[in-house]
Structure 1
């Protein structure tokens, strides 16, 4: 996952010294906020003189097109337009060779991206209230990120707001491409130490599994009384997660059926596979995690398992199915 250092979060720090220090620690982008202020392009010109690191420009303006010539002239690589402030929209000129993104706040539905989908390469989720420094990440954005990834699998996802080491791990696991990091990175005594933590799997524990798991309406679930082999296969196919949770009438998790479980059952019963029972295919002792476990506890548990995991059913204290964690996006988030 890429790190975009929000330069203006460093306050009055000398720009040249800051750029060189961030380059030493391999910041992937330099994030600049343009709040209807043409003077930021003077800073962009200086950054370009100091470094080859791409500039990640966020424009907050009712008429973003008034900055287009400056964007082209300064060779900005990434341009993100804040959706909520747009009053007059014009597409970027053909001279712009970078990538366009659309930023939305927590309250704005992802549907607004539809009108830009043919032009924009990415979305930026503003996960805190713009202008409120130090505000915590608004957790409803976890679901919005998942929904956007499902709707636009070929578009990249960027996130800005409240980013720290723990959120960095969670967002990498969700397949987020880039995060904008301000205070956590630039107000530390040692920038290098903060950068290492942002890229590390050793994290704090402010978040619980329930904060970022897939919710019940997002996961494949089969009530055992409804079991029929073709019906079960269709659920697995529809959700494309490679497994299905099996529950009883009280929502208690009985077990799971994965693609591997089906393959093993078919090999055991071949060629008489038409009458496979749920008992033939279900794993009744799957690895699970409690919704109240912290991220650190989750990582310790995964490390303790004798096999790799692509998903984990999440249960509450009564053993009822609460959600699912999936890990197939973790590698994607590193690309």
Structure 2
């Protein structure tokens, strides 16, 4: 290590689900800069796949279990203190509250806390903790909705210290992974000639696939013959959602695809992507669908509506009738109108949710909190 070499400590709770790509997103901010990135995972076993996906100069696995990081997390604090002293770190980026907590107690570094969910500072104890470290802590929400939740919990904080940096994707890399419409449908065992509405997510109350099934059932008599709803994901509501499809008489038109490894590779199988979540901090699947050239519709709540940003593609939360109307409109669009929607979404993807735009916004934020 040279005397001029500076590092950024990126501290992640784990790498499950979307959080590996979150690590990549933030490591990408420092490509072409004098900074090197050391990414530390609090939980999760060592993995060559994760090392490659982190896109960092160094990756460290602390390999704690979820149980081991409850309470005061003293061992983790000692570990992060040891790591912070081994390099010339300029600051720390910590994803989610536990890494923020450990980084502030274990180091003297400025900490940028990245928050991916609502309610992280609703507890009074967390508010007191954040206020105690307010001179050394700044916060980013992955959407304006999350940012506003943070600001509401910490009302005395200057606005410039709680800002938004949207999640994003490596557009070219995601598109390179996505297979053709024909290949995707063959892999998912979906008919090649059907009009298909797709949904991807846990079968969980937050995702509200019940509204999706109801809206599809209401629209089905007016959709092209043989239309299908394809739901990719698994979860505790699978049985009840299947029962709902039977109750509504559409079980033969609803396909439950289960958990699909590398699911975003197959988004081109869909003619329309629908997200009905009632509690969505952001909605990465919307970006992946947009990258596949699939029009998206979304409930008008949380961060999802910020991704879509078009009233013509939004419907009120839990309103199956409004969703039904949107499905019917989308299924009857002329090809030129569909192309205009896809082109508009592609432009928005490049302008708001690419790594290039995130770099500019991050460094603007950083300069104003130094």
TM-score by length of 1: 0.33
Structure number having the greater helix percentage: 2
Larger Rg: 1
TM-score by length of 2: 0.31
